[in-house]
Amino acid sequence: MSDMNTDNTVDPNIVEEEQPAMDAEEPDDGSDDIGSDALDRLQMLLDSAIASEEERAQLLTRFLAFMSGRRTLTYEERAFLSKPPPKPLISADIAGVAEYIRSGRAKNIIVMCGAGISVSAGIPDFRTPGTGLYYNLQKYNLEDPQMVFSIDYFRQDPKPFYELAKGLYPGQFHPTKAHYFVRLLHEHGLLLRDFTQNIDTLECIAGIPKEKTVFSHGSFASAHCVSCGKEYTPEFVRKKVFSDELAVCECGACVKPDIVFFGEKLPDAFFHHMVEDFPKCDLLIVMGTSLQVQPFAGLIGRVGDGVPRLLINMEVVAAKPVPPPADADEVERYRYRTSSKFAFNDPENLRDALFMGPCDDGVQALADALGWGKELQDMFGAPLPENPSL
């Protein structure tokens, strides 16, 4: 029970039945001994995003009674705990997620975004053959194109990164519908946090508040010397990049935008909000990412067992097949256990929803199902601010 939310309190109106003394012999009333199965069920229900406050208070009361020394459950309690966990979604698709949001059960939505949400803005993703950013670095004969994001390689030769940066630099692109959908969630009071892998800062241009965004892999919004650590403005670096020059510090070392390279630690904000936000999350939306880079990819397993998850992507990623069932209880525990894989292949899955296609199509379909379709279209079609803050 280490994952139990300590913010939950027992309803004072629920009266706990009198407990027998620790050394007293409990009467044989036909009740069953409490076992690990009942406690597993208790954990599942406590973690469920759709349990009411009254149900959670009742369950917490029962658990506290058990911890205080009672070792049995009445028939009524056992029947309550043996009920199947409530299904998060009515269907594992856009319609099911829309119904879940409309029901009011989604109040703290976390969005996880990758490069796929920026493709329709004209920014190529990294891995698509023929068009991806890594593909366009072939002339540098890198053993692995990901070397362009290695801090050790950057110290030796920053030119490949500077060339790649020219194609990514903020100010050249218009946010996509996917970006504006995240803003729409915020304006409807439903967005807890937007975790993005992207460094293009289109979130800022779209009007998503900075305090709502975690740039998991950094961004172009600031820059520092890789040797002495002196800070430089993004304008200084931008001017050098578009002049095909290297931004050099007065100490002689190269200046790098504050993008997280391999070999560097992620921003402190990533870990802070990872710990603070995911226990509160009641709906996770994942868009446009291959979920190949850790620790970002592992975030999908940090939400509660009963929290619905929606993947909007061109392809299925991070899908896990159902293991051979040992018995019915084991299969049930598997389906509701927090996992770093999606359960799309589970024939009875009603937690993980999937929309395969462009991210803009997925968010438009969800917005339409929520009655927000025109609002999203109007927001996307509005002129950009003249000087958006990065």
Q: Is 7 exposed, middle or buried (0-12, 13-18, 19+ CB in 10 A)?
A: exposed
Q: How far is CA 225 from CA 170, 330, 360, in A?
A: 20, 54, 37
Whole-angstrom distance, CA of residue 217 vs CA of residue 111: 15
- The pairing of strands 109-113 and 191-196 is parallel
Contact 105, 282 (CB under 8 A): yes
**217 noted as active-site residue:** yes
Q: How far is CA 327 from CA 52, 323, 332, in A?
A: 29, 11, 9
86 upstream amide cis, omega within 30 of 0: no
Q: How far is CA 173 from CA 167, 203, 242, 287, 388, in A?
A: 10, 11, 15, 19, 12
Residue type, 66: F
SS3 194: strand
Short-list 122, 19, 119, 92, CA closest to 61 = 19
Whole-angstrom distance, CA of residue 230 vs CA of residue 260: 17
Whole-angstrom distance, CA of residue 312 vs CA of residue 196: 14
- Catalytic-role residue among 174, 217, 224, 273: 217
Say which residues have a Cβ less than 8 Å from residue 76's Cβ, sequence separation at least 6: none
Give CA angle at 137 (133, 143), nearest 5°.
115
Whole-angstrom distance, CA of residue 181 vs CA of residue 227: 40
Write out the catalytic residue numbers.
217
